[in-house]
């Protein structure tokens, strides 16, 4: 029986070009989406851009563009990045899309009907220059007695009409939900962080603004636009058919199986979002996974430091699959990780070019040269043959287990440990000697090696889709025999199959000056 799996990423602020952190999240969500498709699930994968808010408006003004044109220009860059990375989304949502505006207004009305939205006043230290409110402890008083915000601009005590969401009413319901659904917030460290925040008490949330207009108008009170997070979070339900709750699409996909987000926005997703959904009478997503941050050589990336890594540069320098492999293998999913040229070169050359690439190249060339390119038939299996075949057959269960906790790096480790075993098996079997001394064993060793590579290729598709596809092409695995259903004994390579001439699939990275 196939099940449905609806996965989403955060929607990025298109207030500039994408950086490697944006790329990382999309790659990870894409790997999970591809994994579930290969497991046989029906998958819907949503990503997009979060286009409203004061900052978007301000930057657009500086560029001499309308906010919408500025957002479009950058949203196009995000789409271009996704296309290059092979991000297999089903919809790229923009929060300026007409159906999204309708969805935001619909959920707002539901929350209002539930008695959870009320008009009051928002007060705080307001900087006209920054167009932002600051908390008392973010301000300082200078020697002239002028109070300044964190950017050094003067602030005044200001009160503004604002709609509030009765978040305080949801404290217990949220805590009960977290307790009843221990996997709702992952990883564990983030769950604990959210639990202690909510236990500390929740204050009502200001959810509208009157100081700027670049946002979704509040229904029946167009002086206000919605707080950008009400608008942004709602994308997850717009993306599957809301507000038409009785539509086939909404009933099929909602609640989402997984929201993949970064650790900095866990509170919005694990506290505000479920409270909005509860208020609107909608079901809650099954899980929220917060990944860590990618740093540049251990340092936080920031525009002012000038160390922001451009994903387009990385793709050009290393290739898409090397980048995908590196980020997913090197960074334990849920923890912070670091990017450096040396680390990506080391991974690419060791794991991809040497371990998997050479094994494929050596074994397939032997078949091409000595057996006319036809897959040999295995003879009786030795203990070593049976052992490596059993390890290959056992990968699927282990990978699946790792993926139950979204441990992508662990899933890759399982596959590459079999690659390492296969290399040892190949070296110990010394097929280059068997060729003359024992042709039957020669065929057996090559068939076994090819069969292990087939299973590695199938399982590696979510991680390195293009190269894994090429590897399976070299083994003449038909398109309909590449899903996980063909793993293990179900899809063994057929002796006698004519293989295409082997070509290298995983190029070694060579420093440009060394070429
Ligand atoms: O937060 N490493 O947008 P955003 C890894 N629009 N991930 C990173 C990162 C880094 N260095 N920097 C950012 C927003 N991210 C909102 C989301 S969702 C309804 C609205 C992640 O463009 C970040 O954690 O600032 C978030 O998940 C995503 O990139 C978009 O960040």
* Segment among 34-48, 50-64, 122-136, 465-479 with least mean pLDDT: 122-136
| CB distance 228 to ligand 1 below 6 Å | no
Q: How far apart are CA 42 and CA 408, in angstroms?
A: 20
Residue 494 has pLDDT above 70, yes or no: yes
Cis (ω within 30 of 0) for the bond into 187? yes
Structure tokens at 238: 């717009």
Give the chain's radius of gyration (CA, Å).
Answer: 27
- 295 CA to centre of ligand 1 in angstroms: 13
Give the lowest-confidence range in 184-198, 306-320, 455-469: 306-320
Q: Is 243 in the pocket of ligand 1 (CB under 6 A)?
A: no
For the chain, percent of residues with pLDDT exceeding 90: 92
Span 219-250, pLDDT tens digits:
999 999 999 999 999 999 999 999 999 999 99
Residue 88 has pLDDT above 70, yes or no: yes
State the Cα–Cα distance between residues 217 and 223, nearest whole angstrom: 8
Q: Where are the beta strands (DSSP E) in 2-80?
A: 4-12, 42-49
Tokens 């500086």 locate to 62
**What is the whole-number distance in angstroms between the Cα of residue 209 and the centre of ligand 1?**
23
Which residues on adjacent β-strands are paired with residue 154?
Answer: 148
Q: Whose CA is nearest to atom 21 of ligand 1?
A: 262
Q: For position 301, what pLDDT does the model report? A: 83
pLDDT tens by residue, 108-164: 999 999 999 999 998 889 887 776 788 899 999 999 999 999 989 999 998 889 999
**8 Å CB contact between 261 and 290:** yes
- Ligand 1 atom with minimal separation from the 14 CA: 22
The predicted pLDDT at position 128 comes to 74
Q: What is the pLDDT of residue 132?
A: 75
What pLDDT is recorded for position 1?
Answer: 59
ipTM rounded to 2 decimals? 0.99
Cβ atoms of 55 and 29 closer than 8 Å: no
In three-state secondary structure terms, 172 is helix
Where are any strands of DSSP class E within 447-494?
none
Largest pairwise CA distance in the chain: 94
Instruction: Name the 3-class secondary structure at 249.
Output: helix
Interval 359-417: pLDDT, tens: 999 999 999 999 999 999 999 999 999 999 999 999 999 999 999 999 999 999 999 99
232 lines ligand 1 (CB under 6 A): yes
| 14 Cα–ligand 1 center, Å | 11
Quote the mean pLDDT of the chain. Answer: 96
The string of pLDDT tens digits covering residues 410-436 is 999 999 999 999 999 999 999 999 999
Give dist(CA 73, CA 460) in Å, integer. 34
Query: Which residue's CA is the closest to the ligand 1 atom numbered 18?
Result: 10
- Give the span between the Cα atoms of 400 and 4, in whole angstroms: 17
By most ligand atoms within 8 Å of CB, the mutation choice from 21, 71, 327 for ligand 1 is 21
* Cα separation, 83 vs 71, whole angstroms: 18
Residue 417: partners with Cβ closer than 8 Å, 6 or more residues away:
none
pLDDT of 515 above 70: no
User: How many angstroms separate the Cα of 234 from the Cα of each of 262, 304, 318, 487?
Assistant: 17, 32, 36, 39
| pLDDT score for 514 | 64
Which pLDDT tens digit goes with each residue over 449-458? 999 999 999 9
Pick from 22, 258, 259 the residue to mutate for probing ligand 1's pocket: most ligand atoms within 8 Å of its CB: 22
Residue nearest (by alpha carbon) to ligand 1 atom 12: 21
Stretch 55-67: mean pLDDT, rounded? 95
Instruction: Tell whether ligand 1 has an atom less than 6 A from the beta carbon of residue 233.
Output: yes
Cα 29 to middle of ligand 1, angstroms: 13
Residue 212 Cβ < 6 Å to ligand 1: no
Sign of CA dihedral 454, 315, 330, 75: negative
* Cβ neighbours of residue 19 closer than 8 Å, sequence gap 6 or more: 301, 308, 309, 310, 311
Ligand 1 pocket residue status of 50, Cβ below 6 Å:
yes
Residue closest by Cα to atom 29 of ligand 1: 22
Tokens 């290729």 locate to 457
* Closest by CA position to 382, among listed 309, 443, 303: 443
Helix residue ranges per DSSP H, 167-243: 171-180, 188-199, 228-238
Atom of ligand 1 nearest to the CA of 15: 22
Q: Say which residue the tokens 């139950």 belong to.
A: 404
Phi (first) and psi of residue 260, to 5 degrees: -95, 125
Give the list of residues 6+ apart from residue 496 with CB closer than 8 angstroms, or none.
Answer: 374, 375, 377
pLDDT at 13 over 80: yes
Cβ(285) – ligand 1 distance below 6 Å? no
Instruction: List the one residue out of 506, 9, 78 whose CA is nearest residue 235.
Output: 9
Nearest CA to ligand 1 atom 30: 12
Whole-number Å distance between alpha carbons of 12 and 24:
12
- Whether ligand 1 lies within 6 angstroms of the CB of 230 is answered as no
Question: Could you tell me the pLDDT band of residue 504, with boundaries at 50, 70 and 90?
Answer: very high
- 302 band by pLDDT with thresholds 50, 70 and 90: confident
Q: Report the alpha-carbon distance of residue 187 to residue 63 in Å, rounded.
A: 40
Q: What is the pLDDT of residues 259-300, one digit of tens each?
A: 999 999 999 999 999 999 999 999 999 999 999 999 988 888
Cβ count near 219 (within 10 Å): 14
- Per-residue model confidence (pLDDT) at position 392: 98
Q: Is the CB of 290 under 6 A from ligand 1?
A: no
What order of strands is seen across the sheet that includes strand 185-186? 91-94, 42-49, 4-12, 258-262, 288-291, 185-186
pTM for the full predicted model: 0.95
Task: Determine phi and psi for 120, rounding to 5 degrees.
Answer: -150, -155
Which two three-digit tokens encode residue 223? 């002086």
**Ligand 1 pocket test target in 7, 8, 9, 10 with most atoms within 8 Å of CB:** 10
């Amino acid at each position: 029986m196939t099940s449905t799996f609806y996965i989403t990423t955060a929607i990025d602020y298109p207030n500039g070009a994408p950086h490697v952190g944006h790329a990382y999240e999309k790659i990870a969500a894409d790997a999970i989406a591809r994994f579930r498709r290969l497991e046989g699930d029906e998958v819907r994968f949503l990503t997009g851009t979060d286009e409203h808010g004061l900052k978007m408006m301000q930057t657009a003004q500086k560029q001499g563009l309308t906010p919408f044109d500025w957002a479009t220009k950058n949203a196009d860059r995000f789409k271009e990045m996704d296309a290059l990375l092979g991000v297999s989304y089903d919809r790229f949502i923009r929060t300026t899309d007409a159906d999204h505006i309708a969805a935001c207004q619909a959920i707002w009305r539901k929350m209002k009907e539930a008695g959870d939205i009320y008009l009051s006043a928002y007060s705080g230290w307001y900087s006209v220059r920054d167009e932002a409110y600051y908390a008392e402890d973010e301000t300082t008083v200078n020697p002239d007695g002028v109070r300044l915000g964190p950017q050094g601009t003067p602030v005044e005590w200001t009160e503004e009409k604002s709609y509030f969401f009765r978040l305080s009413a949801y404290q217990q319901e949220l805590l009960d939900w977290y307790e009843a659904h221990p996997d709702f917030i992952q990883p564990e460290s983030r769950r604990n962080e959210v639990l202690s925040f909510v236990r500390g008490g929740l204050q009502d949330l200001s959810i509208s603004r009157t100081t700027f207009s670049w946002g979704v108008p509040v229904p029946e009170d167009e002086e206000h636009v919605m707080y950008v997070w009400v608008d942004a979070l709602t994308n997850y339900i717009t993306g599957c058919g809301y507000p038409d709750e009785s539509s086939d699409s909404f009933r099929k996909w909602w609640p989402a199986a997984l929201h993949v987000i970064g650790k900095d926005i866990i509170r919005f997703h694990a506290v505000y979002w479920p409270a909005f959904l509860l208020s609107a009478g909608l079901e809650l997503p099954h899980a929220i996974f917060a990944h860590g941050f990618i740093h540049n050589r251990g340092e936080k990336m920031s525009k002012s430091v000038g160390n922001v890594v451009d994903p387009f540069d990385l793709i050009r320098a290393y290739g898409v699959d090397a980048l995908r492999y590196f980020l997913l293998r090197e960074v334990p999913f849920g923890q912070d990780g670091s990017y450096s040229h040396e680390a990506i070169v080391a991974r690419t050359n060791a794991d991809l070019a040497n371990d998997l690439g050479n094994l494929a190249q050596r074994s397939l060339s032997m078949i091409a040269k000595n057996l006319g390119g036809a897959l040999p038939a295995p003879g009786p299996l030795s203990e070593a043959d049976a052992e490596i075949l059993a390890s290959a057959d056992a990968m699927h269960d282990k990978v699946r287990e790792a993926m139950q906790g979204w441990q992508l790096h662990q899933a890759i480790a399982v596959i590459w440990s079999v690659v390492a075993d296969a290399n040892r098996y190949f070296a110990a079997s010394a097929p280059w000697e068997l060729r003359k001394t024992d042709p039957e064993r020669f065929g057996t060793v090559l068939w076994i090696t090819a069969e292990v590579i087939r299973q590695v290729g199938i399982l590696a598709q979510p991680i390195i889709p293009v190269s894994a596809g090429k590897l399976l092409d070299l083994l003449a695995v038909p398109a309909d025999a590449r899903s996980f259903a063909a793993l293990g004994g179900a899809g063994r390579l057929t002796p006698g199959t004519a293989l295409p001439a082997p070509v290298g699939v995983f190029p070694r990275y060579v420093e440009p000056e060394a070429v």
